Amino acid sequence: MGKIKEKFWREFKAYWLNVLYITLCFTVFVDYARLILAHHEIKYAHYGISVINGLILGKVILIAEHLKVGQGFEDKPLIIPTLYKSFLFTLCVLLLGTIELTIRTLIQTHNPATIVDALISKISYAWFAKILIVFVVFIPFFSMKELSRVLGEGKISALFFKSRPRPANQ
């Protein structure tokens, strides 16, 4: 029973760390868009989407890790699995965005024929910029995960959150 409880807490912590990072990043994007649009006196507030996407994508990442998605590059330099997973999960964000837009379009119009038009109208320079930003945001996220994998569980958090003795020469 102790191993199950330990595994549960490890998974629980990993999930909420994923959600926190992703939600924080997506919220920054929403803030950025809101501030730019506010300059032009256009209201924009889609904070709920950031939280929902964070919750969903956090779970997708956890499930993908259990299914060993994106593995096969463990023996390569860390940049390879980092960039590969960043790309793979950027595609997941695209898929989640497409699903979200499809559901929102159906709720607003009650007409499935409008979905394709909504998806096509979404493609723009701003859309490509968001995708590029998501990819770049995932690089440090997966870099830390890959470093943790190589160094061993708990080593990265110990380096960041636990005191270390001062070097002898100080």
Whether residue 90 sits in one domain with residue 48: no
In a domain, 167, yes or no: no
pLDDT digits (tens, 9 = 90+) for 130-160: 889 889 989 999 999 899 989 988 888 888 8
Range of the domain at 50: 1-67
Q: How far apart are CA 70 and CA 80, in angstroms?
A: 10
Positive/negative CA dihedral, 145, 146, 150, 156: negative
Model-level pTM greater than 0.85? Answer: no
pLDDT digits (tens, 9 = 90+) for 17-64: 999 999 998 888 888 888 888 888 888 767 677 888 888 888 888 888
H or E segment at 87?
helix 79-109
Cα separations in angstroms, 135 against 13, 28, 35: 24, 15, 22
Whether residue 75 sits in one domain with residue 61: no
Q: How far apart are CA 45 and CA 14, in angstroms?
A: 28
* Domain closes at, from 41, 67, 93: 67
3-class DSSP assignment, residue 26? helix
Amino acid identity, position 111? N
Q: Which residue has the higher pLDDT, 69 or 87?
A: 87
C-alpha torsion 64→67→73→79, nearest 10: 20
